[in-house]
Amino acid sequence: MWSKGWTTLRDAQEQAIRPILSGDRDVIIAAATASGKTEAAFLPILTKIADSGEESALAIYISPLKALINDQWSRLEELCEELQIPVTPWHGDITASKKQKFLKYPRGVLLITPESLEATFVRRGSGVRQLFGEVIYLVIDELHAFIGSDRGKQMQSLLSRIEAAAGHRIPRIGLSATLGDMDAAKKYLRNEQDSVYLIQSKATGQDLGVQIRGYIMPARIEGQAEVLPVAEEAVADHLYKTLLGSNNLVFPNSRRNVEFYTDALRRRCESDSRPVEFWPHHGSLARDIREETERALKDGSRAATAICTNTLELGIDIGAVKSVAQIGPGPSVASLRQRLGRSGRRAGERAILRSYAIEDQLTSKSCTSDRLREGLVQSIAMINLLLKGWFEPPNASGLHLSTLVQQALSMIAERGGATAKQLYQWLVVEGAFLGLSTAEFTELLRSLASKELISQDATGLLLLGQAGERYVASYDFFAAFASGEEWQIENNGRRMGSLPITSPVFVDMRIIFGGRRWSIISIDEQANVIVVTADQGGKPPMFDGGSISVNDVVRKEMRQILQGTESISFLDETAKQLLAEARTHYANLQLATQQVLVFGESMELLTWSGDDSNDTLVLLLRSLGVSDVGNEGVIVTIGKCSRDSLADKLSDISELEEKDLSSLLTDVSNMQRGKWDWALSENLLKKSFASQYLSFSGAKSSAKELIKSL
């Protein structure tokens, strides 16, 4: 602290000293990006290790990313330089000799990913008791990135297993800048949430500069093969003029758009005979191309802007950037906050967010979504909520049975076998999978046995089966999450591209792809292929949420914006004009009191609910005989259903008791989202899917509101 010239501690660092030094409670430190959370945790932790006089005292820091471990390694080594406390990074790129040195003397600070922890349990077996016996703290960085995910459930299970190996309770310390629900975060960190001490920084964080710029896409001319990307080229022009000569991040929401904007911006560099300043970064690019972009950003000797997907949202050390650009709505408010945290890190600089909204030129055939300017209004709503400090709360109630499969196999491998009763005790009663009944756990084990993942000997001991041994021996086993495969879209034998789809899909469902509306005619789950035919339902909206699942609060904020009359200060003139059009249309349709629009034999339901609620409403309506129904963002579309019939079905839905939703999922084809979902029985797969992706209460609430409108 003296050598760094610090004259004071930041408020979170000050508050963290006593509760962490006491070592008798769990702690969450919630503070803005670049606010010194790492030091807030480790100044007292390292003090405790240095003062304890215990040569074997160990603190484990768990991070979601290898790059973040590398970044923290250098920071912690500097803190530990004069303390003679070793700091050991552990992931796939670390040398075997460094790992062996730690295994021989497991002390100091270990920086590790969940996957490497998993590998340690599987490969070292009973040796983990000696390895983790002296652990005195567990630090989980980017806590928000784990909650509500398969990987997060794996993390919870691993924390329990470390404590079981150590034989004592270990204080857990969670760090995050974007926690949307503090109670959920406390419950995630330790199920006895009352024991978790919460530190929320009072620091306001960065000064923020925000602007949303509006662009209008010319209407498609009858007979024209495609619409020229006039608006996209105009966005590229503004990006080029604004970002040239500085380091920035641009998030265009898809890999296809990353390629388009990188090419457009590089062409402008070449036209002006300038060195290339714009670089692509997404998961499908080769590693050396991604690393070239990272080096260009971090180098500091030249200007560099990355056009990227969420691969550069978190963790990778690229240095500070001047600004962040978002093309279209961000994936979530929390994601916007995370991206924005990359900007304005230098003293005296503010964080800058530029958002670009591309909307269709209105014609007589324009749909309601276009007229309401859904993409623009969603962008405004997300920035409003960001400024208020709201973030999406995680879905912490999911069963995550895919991860339970992995953890069951891992524990059998670690212990050399286990009884069903022992596994249930370790993983459910004392572990992370609370609430699973013994009958459901038995059904899970039977399903694993049918897939030869486990077997049982004459004494009743569960062992790895032939397939189980093969999977556990693979390096790929240690990751609990799937790689996020996309669905290939095919029409008349021609592959048109791929699309991440999070809503339930079924035959006859309409999807939007490539600016056109399609109807699904067949689904191949094994090959991840969806075959479509052109849908004659009219011109689709320009806005396409893709893999984004929008929260209820965002949609309700969108409605407030459309009902309002106040000026939005961060809109440019075109965006103001577009918002004014949307508000006029909202008022003309009397959408403040009306939520059902009738167009001949079809209807549009404006639920103003999130996608989990809308998806569930769609499935409930289908189960009641409404076959032509779909979730299209802010609107649920209904075809060939009378007003009276719809009212009856919504009344039935509003009175339903929450029960097993598996009957709704009979013809849904994309329920296997988790890595091990294929190993589940059909019944458990439906339960797991429903718990993570559907909202029965949200659908009932929407039905009640729609009945009032009818």
Question: For residue 546, what pLDDT is reported?
Answer: 42
Residue 284 pLDDT grade (very low, low, confident, very high; cuts 50, 70, 90): low
pLDDT at 315 over 60: no
CA–CA dist 637, 621 (Å, integer): 11
> What average pLDDT does the segment 153-168 reach?
94
- Contact between 464 and 409 under an 8 Å Cβ cutoff? The reply is yes
Yes or no: say if 31 and 37 are a contact pair by the CB < 8 Å rule: yes
Give 617's contacts (C-beta < 8 A, 6+ positions apart): 605, 607, 609, 631, 636, 653, 698, 699, 702, 703
Residue 578's Cα: distance from chain center in Å? 30
- Band of residue 208 on the pLDDT scale cut at 50, 70, 90: confident
The better pLDDT of the pair 290, 13 is held by 13
Average pLDDT, the chain: 87
**CATH architecture of the domain covering 401-478:** Orthogonal Bundle (1.10)
The pLDDT value given to residue 634: 92
255's torsion region: left (phi>0), alpha (psi -120 to 50) or beta?
Answer: alpha
Cα angle value 188/193/196 (rounded, 5°): 95
Single pTM value for the model:
0.85
Sheet holding 208-217, edge to edge: 208-217, 351-360, 323-327, 248-251, 305-308, 278-281
**pLDDT above 50 for 323:** yes
In 466-482, which positions are buried (b, 16+ CB within 10 angstroms) versus exposed (e)? ebbeebbeeeebbbbbe
45-54 confidence digits (pLDDT tens): 999 998 876 6
Query: Across 331-335, 569-573, 643-647, which has the greatest mean pLDDT?
Result: 569-573
What are the E-state strand segments in 408-554? Answer: 454-456, 462-464, 487-491, 494-499, 510-513, 516-524, 529-534
- CA dihedral defined by 584, 590, 591, 597, rounded to 10 degrees? -110
The string of pLDDT tens digits covering residues 535-593 is 765 444 333 434 568 999 999 999 999 999 999 999 999 999 999 999 999 999 999 99
Mean pLDDT calculated for residue range 252-262: 87
Burial of 405 (0-12, 13-18, 19+ CB in 10 A): buried
Query: Using an 8 Å Cβ cutoff, are 296 and 320 in contact?
Result: no
Please give the pLDDT value at position 228: 73
Residues paired with residue 112 on neighbouring β-strands, in sequence order:
62, 90
| Segment holding 196, helix H or strand E | strand 196-200
| CATH among 3.30.230.70, 3.40.50.300, 1.10.4080.10, 3.40.50.2300 for 208-388 | 3.40.50.300
Tokens of 185: 């975060």
* Most confident region among 311-320, 321-330, 337-346, 520-529 by mean pLDDT: 321-330
Q: How far is CA 607 from CA 186, 551, 596, 685, in A?
A: 32, 12, 9, 28
What pLDDT is recorded for position 132?
A: 92
**Whole-number Cα distances in Å, 494 to 421, 486, 509, 650:** 52, 17, 20, 40
Who contacts 480 (Cβ-Cβ below 8 Å, separation ≥6)?
114, 118, 150, 151, 153, 154, 402, 403, 406, 407, 675
Residue in the block written with tokens 């992931």 = 91
Largest distance between two CA atoms of the chain: 80
DSSP label of 672: -
Q: Which of 77-86, 458-467, 485-494 has the highest mean pLDDT?
A: 458-467
Q: How is residue 293 written in tokens? A: 């972009």
Q: Fold for domain 11-200? A: Rossmann fold (3.40.50)
What does residue 457 show for φ and ψ, rounded to 5 degrees?
-90, 180
Which of the two residues, 625 and 509, has the higher pLDDT score?
625
CA 650, distance to chain mean position in Å, is 32
Instruction: Report which of residues 170 and 521 the model is more confident about.
Output: 170
Other beta carbons within 10 angstroms of residue 661's beta carbon come to 19
Q: How far lies 709's CA from each of 465, 597, 652, in Å? A: 57, 10, 16
Q: Given this model, what pLDDT does residue 570 score?
A: 97
The single residue listed with the structure tokens 């000050």 is 14
Asked if the model's pLDDT at residue 364 lies above 50, the reply is yes
Q: Is pLDDT at 340 greater than 80 in this prediction?
A: yes
CA distance 251 to 269: 19
- For residue 398, the SS3 value is coil
Q: Quote the pLDDT of residue 451.
A: 96
pLDDT bucket at 221, cuts 50 / 70 / 90: low
Instruction: Locate the domains of the chain by residue range.
Output: 11-200, 208-388, 401-478, 487-550+594-709
- The pLDDT of residue 206 is 66
Please say if the pLDDT value at position 205 is more than 90.
no
Cα separations (Å) of 208 from 253, 327, 459, 659? 22, 18, 65, 46
Mean pLDDT of 118-132: 91
What distances in angstroms separate CA 289 from CA 240, 292, 346, 563, one per listed residue?
22, 5, 27, 47
Work out the percent of the chain whose per-residue pLDDT is above 90.
54
Beta bridge partners of 200: 30
Are 617 and 702 in contact by the 8 Å Cβ rule? The answer is yes
| Structure token digits, residue 569 | 């200060």
The residue to which tokens 């650009």 are assigned: 325
Instruction: Read off the pLDDT of each residue in 289-306 and give the average, rounded to a whole number.
Output: 83
Angstrom distance (rounded) from CA 591 to CA 710: 12
Quick: pLDDT tens for 28-69. Answer: 999 877 678 899 999 999 999 988 766 678 999 999 877 778
**What percentage of the chain has pLDDT greater than the value 70?**
91
Q: pLDDT tier at 93 (50, 70, 90 boundaries)?
A: confident
Q: Do 11-200 and 208-388 agree at the fold level?
A: yes
Instruction: Give the pLDDT of residue 528.
Output: 79
Residue 313 pLDDT > 50, yes or no?
yes
Which residue is it, tokens 């167009």? 599
